[in-house]
Amino acid sequence: MRNRIYLCLAHMSGNEQKYIQEAFDTNWVVPLGPNVNAFEEDLKQFVDPTKEVVALSAGTAAVHLSLIACGVKRGDEVLCQDFTFCASSNPITYQGATPVFVDSEADSWNMDPELLEKAIIDRQQKTGRLPKAIMMVYLYGMPGRIDEIMAIAEKYQIPLIEDAAEGLGSRFDGKVVGSFGQYGILSFNGNKMITTSGGGALVCPDAASKQEVMFYATQAREAYPYYQHEKIGYNYRMSNICAGIGRGQMTVLNQHIQHHHHIAALYKEAFAAVPGITFHDNPSPRYDSNFWLNTILLDEDLKVKGQEQAYATAVQGAVGGAAGVTHAASSLHTAVEPNANVEAMRICLDKAMIESRPLWKPMHCQPVYRDNPAYVNGVSESLFRRGLCLPSGPMVTDDDVQYIIENILASIER
């Protein structure tokens, strides 16, 4: 029986064991240590040697600390990409601030610069203040129109945060994403380009900002011979053991990026001549995606076997590799959901032991954010209804890709 093919699983093939063993041999197992320092330096050299990097317990922690560093407080507004995972927007609410969602443009699927500027002008007119920060995201590793967004951020003097959690190794005009804005978010979750088993990092503009981020990441302790706290801090630092895994993973990062590019090329070639299926590719030579997850769009009129019964049974547990506990679904349908042929394709692949999942559901469609301001153009909602993520990680082989393609084609009604 064929083993299940997952979207993106970690692959330990560098010097991870060596650095972990060093941590045990020296008894450096706390959230600091030689591996942490070395990992931060490795990341700095890869992303941008002129900047600084803080290794943290999660990419979400990096988002949260970037907001604190930008001075986001209760009552502020932060412009956030609408088409994203909730980890981009939830930390805004941690700060008591309001996420204001901005929809995507159709080429990169990332924040629409024209809509962004309209949102800035409208929020200033409505509130009398400019938004406190801009949170853009590189969806599935694809760079966005960062040059235009940077120009808008500079025009209105609003700090730009790049959520590059999915984009490690992606480039725009040859420059690594996460290095353009004031702060950049990286993630090393178990399904990312490299992993520390769980973890993240914050790219900072200089040494002073790194020092301040580290202050908040280590419980905001003042320099007294006892515990003195004048600010609210957090336990967000990365352990020396996890950083050891990261150091080992950095030695194979370029190999992982090359592998994702290779898998993307196989999908692209296979679907080029398939009516009704569109592979999401780099919009132009300026874009160089890491193709963290390869994605396809299904035309609405593409018929997939079993789509009449696509939503007949409630899903049990989490779909898409999510870990942890989920609440039972309260209904078979929600107000905005993938088209029946997309769900039918997911079910067909699942039966063939292939993991796939819908694209991120836009934040303005999430019940928890139903009352938030949103500037939408229909792009992200349309993509969510039609899109599917396919296995792409370093554990996915050429044979796996061929098997996936064969099952996708076999699921189409002729």
pLDDT of residue 32: 83
Pairwise pLDDT comparison (320 vs 148), residue with the higher score: 148
Is residue 220 within 8 Å of 230, Cβ to Cβ?
yes
Task: Decide if pLDDT at 315 tops 90.
Answer: no
pLDDT of residue 253: 97
Long-range pairs, 363-368, Cβ under 8 A, ≥24? 363/80, 363/82, 363/83, 363/84, 363/86, 363/88, 363/89, 363/99, 363/101, 364/82, 364/101, 364/103, 365/335, 365/336, 366/86
| Sheet with 171-172, edge to edge strand ranges | 175-176, 171-172, 287-288
pLDDT of residue 247: 96
Is residue 186 within 8 Å of 43, Cβ to Cβ?
yes
The residue-averaged pLDDT of 226-252 equals 96
pLDDT band of residue 13 (cuts 50, 70, 90) is: confident
Task: Decide if pLDDT at 319 tops 70.
Answer: no
Measured distance CA(384)–CA(390) in Å, rounded: 14
Task: Decide if pLDDT at 325 tops 90.
Answer: no
Burial class, 244, CB count within 10 angstroms (exposed 0-12 / middle 13-18 / buried 19+): buried
pLDDT of residue 14: 78
Task: Decide if pLDDT at 357 tops 80.
Answer: yes
User: For the chain, how many helices (H) and strands (E)?
Assistant: 12, 15
Measured distance CA(279)–CA(297) in Å, rounded: 7
Is residue 108 within 8 Å of 143, Cβ to Cβ?
yes
Task: Decide if pLDDT at 322 tops 70.
Answer: no
Is residue 203 within 8 Å of 53, Cβ to Cβ?
yes
The residue-averaged pLDDT of 248-267 equals 97
pLDDT of residue 1: 72
The residue-averaged pLDDT of 247-261 equals 97
User: What's the CATH number for 254-411?
Assistant: 3.90.1150.10
Is residue 279 within 8 Å of 312, Cβ to Cβ?
no
User: What's the CATH number for 16-251?
Assistant: 3.40.640.10
Percent share of the chain, pLDDT over 70: 98
The residue-averaged pLDDT of 281-297 equals 98
Kindly give, in sequence order, each residue whose CB lies less than 8 Å from that of residue 69, ignoring residues fewer than 6 positions away: 183, 202, 204, 209, 212, 213, 216
pLDDT band of residue 329 (cuts 50, 70, 90) is: confident
Task: Decide if pLDDT at 260 tops 60.
Answer: yes
pLDDT band of residue 10 (cuts 50, 70, 90) is: confident
Mean pLDDT, all residues of the chain: 95
Burial class, 165, CB count within 10 angstroms (exposed 0-12 / middle 13-18 / buried 19+): buried
Over the stretch 103-146, which tens digit does the pLDDT of each residue have? 999 999 999 999 999 999 999 999 999 999 999 999 999 999 99
Over the stretch 175-225, which tens digit does the pLDDT of each residue have? 999 999 999 999 999 999 999 999 999 999 999 999 999 999 999 999 999
Task: Spell out the domain ranges in the chain.
Answer: 16-251, 254-411
Residue type at 54 in one-letter notation = V
The residue-averaged pLDDT of 56-64 equals 98
pLDDT of residue 412: 98
pLDDT of residue 63: 98
pTM of the model: 0.96
Task: Decide if pLDDT at 323 tops 90.
Answer: no
The residue-averaged pLDDT of 267-293 equals 98
Task: Decide if pLDDT at 70 tops 60.
Answer: yes
Beta pairing class for 160-163 and 175-176: unpaired
Measured distance CA(400)–CA(4) in Å, rounded: 10
The residue-averaged pLDDT of 363-375 equals 98
Dihedral sign from CA coordinates of 345, 348, 354, 358: positive
First CA to last CA distance, the chain:
28
Task: Decide if pLDDT at 289 tops 90.
Answer: yes
Measured distance CA(65)–CA(212) in Å, rounded: 10
